[in-house]
A = this chain, B = another copy of it.
Amino acid sequence: MSANNDSGDISRHKNTNLSGADQAGDGATVSTSADSHVEKPLFSNMSFEELRQANEQFIKERNWHQFHSPRNVLFAMVGEVGELAEIFQWKGEVSEGLPELSPAEREHVGQEVSDILIYLLDFATRCKIDLPAAVVRKMAANAKKYPVDKAYGKANKYTDYQ
């Protein structure tokens, strides 16, 4: 994946619909607010498919697909989750932005979160799951399980609202 053609084939994809209306088939929406932007952007611009393709290329160049069975990749991801948890294990509660951590520790957090993300997209690829489409369906389902009027300000499980 070259940085120079990252708007190439990817633009041909069908668009996902984060409102979830079509997927749910019942008008359920993830968000109905006219003011769609909660806060300023935090993430640099990258699509899920861009990262997926870059990682597939990385694996292919090393002839590693032979090792990437679904369960092998899942175990790899579980291992990375453990490495992330390890950073936080003796910290007590930490604040937004992790001011209690050193710059090196914060960089380490970013590395472990990256490893989890890479393996998660790898796993979806091995399972042949269109992850953005699955996320749209799941968010529409979550919106139905947690209606704003019932769930506002409460941390209950959805079964309490049924």
Contact = CB atoms under 8 A, between A and B. Distances in A.
A9 interface: yes
A58 B38 CA distance: 10
Interface in A1-50: 1-3, 5-6, 8-19, 21, 30-31, 33, 36-39, 41-50
Interface of A: 1-3, 5-6, 8-19, 21, 30-31, 33, 36-39, 41-58, 60-64, 66-67, 69-71, 74, 77-78, 81, 84-85, 88, 91, 93-98, 106, 109-111, 113-118, 120, 123-139, 141-143, 146, 148, 151-153, 155
Secondary structure type dominating chain A contacts: helix
A128 B57 contact: no
Contact of A44 (B3, B15, B54, B57): B15
B54 A49 contact: no
Contacts of A33: 57, 61
Given A18-B1, A78-B81, A128-B97, A57 B43 contact: no
B16 A46 contact: yes
A52 to B, nearest CB: 6
B120 A113 contact: yes
Given A30-B54, A64-B153, A78-B85, 5 more contacts: A8-B37, A31-B54, A39-B56, A62-B148, A62-B151
